[in-house]
């Protein structure tokens, strides 16, 4: 049996002591059993409250950079394409899958003819062009590098869009089934400009009503929605409740009907409660520690030279990586309910290959620090979110790194503030994750490419950039699988993004609500949700 390092004993006891409930109570599912949808018949009416783990950033598809914002967008902003429960791309605002011609350099598709935005504007090819052009050219757009292969967007008919690409880009469809495929009202864009987030208007089952920053976002059913007859709820409220235990308490009291991103401790407790139900699906994303190696002037500026031990010498970053035991982190912090991760490609997907995570090696870590000529302990400020789960993770990382010669100081930071600091380059290291896409390019290109709009630590490596281009340029599955194997190796060689674990997407809901769907991307859909007959809401 593996022994915990002495410094972790207290953290392990605390984590295990807070777990309550049985993992497999009689007559109920276990947390390991995937459950993507609850399909009991529902009645019309009522408002559902969804508890979020953190406060979303801007409700602007071009400028957002958070998973929780995407969760809100599932109810108010539809995409050109979506991901179904089997991780397949399906049309949403597009009327069909794109026709790809000219050696992969032209994408042509039709859009729905029956859709209107919440402000009354009509969805057509020109509206799609307006949004895609904004994604590409708006200053600070997080989508720019995601679809930077697009040279020109044309409305070649009232409902037909043609994308002319600079080069073949096989993963583009996956990006259009993500945030880059979100379409905004051209009327709202023209009226509000960069202030769109305060007046968002899209096509969706619900429309924006109001927001109280740090507390809640209120949506109301949109009577203009093309599928309004399938929408049962009068409204949806997204409420920020950062503490998972408090989200669970609100579920039990009836103040919240659905808890998003529930952690292992809360899931185990919920499984023993007959008034609650669990939905879960494997994650396509990852959680990691991002080290700042070149973000000197902000994420929208070219990489600079960061004069820190971590910025100067890859051996220091490698030593930090070797100080961490992924299996032990999963055991101590997450009670073995997640999975260790050491790469960005989701396992079990067509382009994945087996990746062996490095074993913890404290002696080698110390040797690398000595070779790098740095004074020990090497200081590092690690920014973490203000959640109990992130606090436990930070404490375990802190204890492990100390044994290898690092002095990790934890800096708990409210989510929105932390994101602002990260984008500005005002951080040394931070914990965080990526929601994930079925195509690995969606987990790599914008996050570690030199010009990536989500490259928070501003890693810049010519070999990574070359392989990113190669991965876009072929549709051959075997060739792409080998490219992403090499890309994973190249990224891990830089030790700038240290992949730690891949979570399970857990959502806990009250038994009196049904019709909730959890797709392969882990996002909660409530388009057809409602209260079961006889329930109050």
Q: Which domain holds residue 46?
A: 34-54+207-283+505-531
> What mean pLDDT do residues 250-256 have?
97
> What mean pLDDT do residues 189-201 have?
96
Give the chain's mean pLDDT.
Answer: 90
Residue 22 has pLDDT above 70, yes or no: no
362 and 442 share a domain? yes
139-161 confidence digits (pLDDT tens): 999 999 899 999 999 999 999 99
Residue 340 has pLDDT above 90, yes or no: yes
292 and 399 share a domain? yes
**Beta carbons within 10 angstroms of residue 103's beta carbon:** 9
The CATH number given to whatever domain includes residue 153 is: 3.90.76.10
* Domain contains 14: no
The CATH number given to whatever domain includes residue 252 is: 3.40.190.10
pLDDT class for 515, splitting at 50, 70, 90?
A: very high
> What mean pLDDT do residues 103-116 have?
96
* Domain contains 6: no
Q: How far apart are CA 258 and CA 247, in angstroms?
A: 9
302 and 278 share a domain? no
* Domain contains 434: yes
480 and 519 share a domain? no
> What mean pLDDT do residues 465-476 have?
93
* Domain contains 190: yes
**Are 369 and 384 in contact, with CB atoms under 8 Å apart?**
no
277 and 401 share a domain? no
pLDDT for the residue 84:
81
Residue 255 has pLDDT above 50, yes or no: yes
289 and 277 share a domain? no
* Domain contains 438: yes
pLDDT class for 239, splitting at 50, 70, 90?
A: very high
Asked which of 198, 230, 253 is the last residue of a domain, the reply is 198
Residue 377 has pLDDT above 90, yes or no: yes
The CATH number given to whatever domain includes residue 307 is: 3.10.105.10
Give the range among 212-221, 264-273, 302-311 with minimum mean pLDDT.
Answer: 264-273
Q: Quote the distance between the C-alpha of residue 365 and its chain's center.
A: 31
pLDDT for the residue 521:
76
Residue 395 has pLDDT above 60, yes or no: yes
300 and 403 share a domain? yes
**Are 127 and 183 in contact, with CB atoms under 8 Å apart?**
yes
pLDDT for the residue 40:
84
Q: State what percent of residues in the chain have pLDDT above 70.
A: 92
How many domains does one find in the chain?
Answer: 3
Give the range among 86-90, 303-307, 474-478 with minimum mean pLDDT.
Answer: 86-90
pLDDT for the residue 35:
58
290 and 425 share a domain? yes
* Domain contains 45: yes
What torsion do the CA atoms of 435, 37, 75, 524 make, to the nearest 10 degrees?
-30
326 and 469 share a domain? yes
296 and 231 share a domain? no
Asked which of 198, 228, 245 is the last residue of a domain, the reply is 198
**Are 298 and 424 in contact, with CB atoms under 8 Å apart?**
yes
> What mean pLDDT do residues 216-227 have?
98
380 and 271 share a domain? no
155-186 confidence digits (pLDDT tens): 999 999 999 999 999 999 999 999 999 999 99
**Are 500 and 396 in contact, with CB atoms under 8 Å apart?**
no
* Domain contains 59: no
pLDDT for the residue 226:
97
Of 434, 341, 350, residue with least CA distance to 86 = 350
Q: How far apart are CA 287 and CA 261, in angstroms?
A: 13
* Domain contains 72: no
377 and 479 share a domain? yes
pLDDT for the residue 34:
54
pLDDT class for 437, splitting at 50, 70, 90?
A: confident
pLDDT for the residue 400:
98
Backbone phi, then psi, for 197, in 5-degree steps? Answer: -60, -25
pLDDT class for 230, splitting at 50, 70, 90?
A: very high
503-513 confidence digits (pLDDT tens): 888 999 999 99
Q: Give the tokens for residue 150.
A: 């697009």
Q: State what percent of residues in the chain have pLDDT above 90.
A: 77
Residue 30 has pLDDT above 90, yes or no: no
């Amino acid at each position: 049996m593996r022994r915990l390092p002495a410094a972790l004993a207290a953290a392990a006891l605390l984590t295990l002591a807070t777990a309550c409930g049985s993992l497999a109570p009689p007559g109920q599912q276990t947390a390991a059993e995937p459950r993507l949808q609850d399909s009991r018949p529902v009645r019309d009416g009522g408002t559902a409250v969804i508890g979020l783990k953190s406060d979303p950033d801007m409700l602007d598809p071009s400028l957002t950079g958070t998973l929780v914002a995407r969760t809100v967008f599932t109810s108010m902003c539809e995409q050109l394409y979506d991901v179904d429960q089997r991780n397949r791309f399906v049309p949403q605002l597009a009327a069909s899958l794109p026709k790809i011609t000219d050696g992969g350099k032209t994408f042509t598709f039709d859009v729905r003819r029956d859709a209107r935005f919440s402000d009354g504007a009509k969805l057509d090819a020109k509206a799609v062009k307006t949004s895609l052009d904004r994604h590409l050219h708006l200053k600070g757009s997080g989508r720019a590098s995601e679809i930077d292969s697009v040279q020109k967007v044309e409305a070649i008919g009232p409902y037909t869009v043609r994308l002319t690409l600079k080069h073949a880009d096989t993963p583009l469809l996956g990006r259009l089934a993500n945030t880059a495929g979100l379409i905004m009202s051209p009327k709202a864009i023209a009226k509000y400009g960069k202030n769109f987030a305060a007046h968002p208007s899209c096509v969706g089952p619900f429309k924006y009503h109001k927001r109280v920053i740090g507390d809640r976002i209120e949506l109301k059913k949109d009577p203009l929605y093309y599928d309004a007859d399938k929408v049962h709820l009068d409204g949806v409220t997204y409420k920020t409740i950062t503490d998972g235990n408090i989200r669970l308490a609100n579920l039990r009291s009836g103040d919240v009907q659905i808890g998003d991103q529930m952690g292992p401790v809360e899931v185990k407790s919920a499984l023993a409660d007959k008034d609650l139900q669990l939905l879960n699906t494997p994650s396509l994303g990852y959680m990691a520690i991002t080290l700042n190696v070149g973000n000197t002037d902000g994420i929208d500026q070219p990489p600079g030279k960061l004069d820190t031990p971590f910025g100067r010498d890859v051996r220091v970053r490698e030593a930090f990586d070797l100080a961490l035991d992924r299996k032990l982190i999963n055991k101590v912090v997450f009670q073995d309910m997640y999975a260790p991760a050491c790469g960005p490609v989701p396992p079990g997907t067509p382009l994945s290959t087996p990746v062996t995570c490095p074993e913890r090696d404290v002696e080698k870590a110390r040797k690398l620090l000595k070779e790098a000529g740095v004074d020990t302990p090497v200081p590092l400020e690690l920014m973490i979110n203000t959640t109990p789960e992130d606090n436990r993770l930070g404490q375990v990382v802190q204890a492990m790194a100390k044994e290898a010669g690092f002095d990790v100081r934890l800096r708990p930071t409210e989510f929105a503030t932390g994101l602002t600091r990260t984008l500005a380059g005002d951080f040394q290291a931070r914990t965080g994750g990526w929601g994930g896409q079925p195509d690995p390019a969606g987990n790599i290109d914008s996050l570690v490419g030199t010009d990536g709009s989500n490259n928070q630590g501003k890693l810049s490596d010519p070999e990574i950039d070359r392989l990113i281009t190669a991965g876009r340029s072929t549709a051959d599955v075997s060739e792409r699988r080998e490219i992403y194997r090499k890309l994973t190796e190249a990224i891990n060689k830089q030790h700038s993004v240290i992949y730690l674990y891949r979570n399970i997407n857990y959502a806990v809901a009250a038994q009196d609500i049904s019709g909730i769907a959890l797709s392969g991307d882990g996002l909660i859909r409530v388009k057809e949700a409602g209260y079961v007959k006889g329930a109050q809401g």
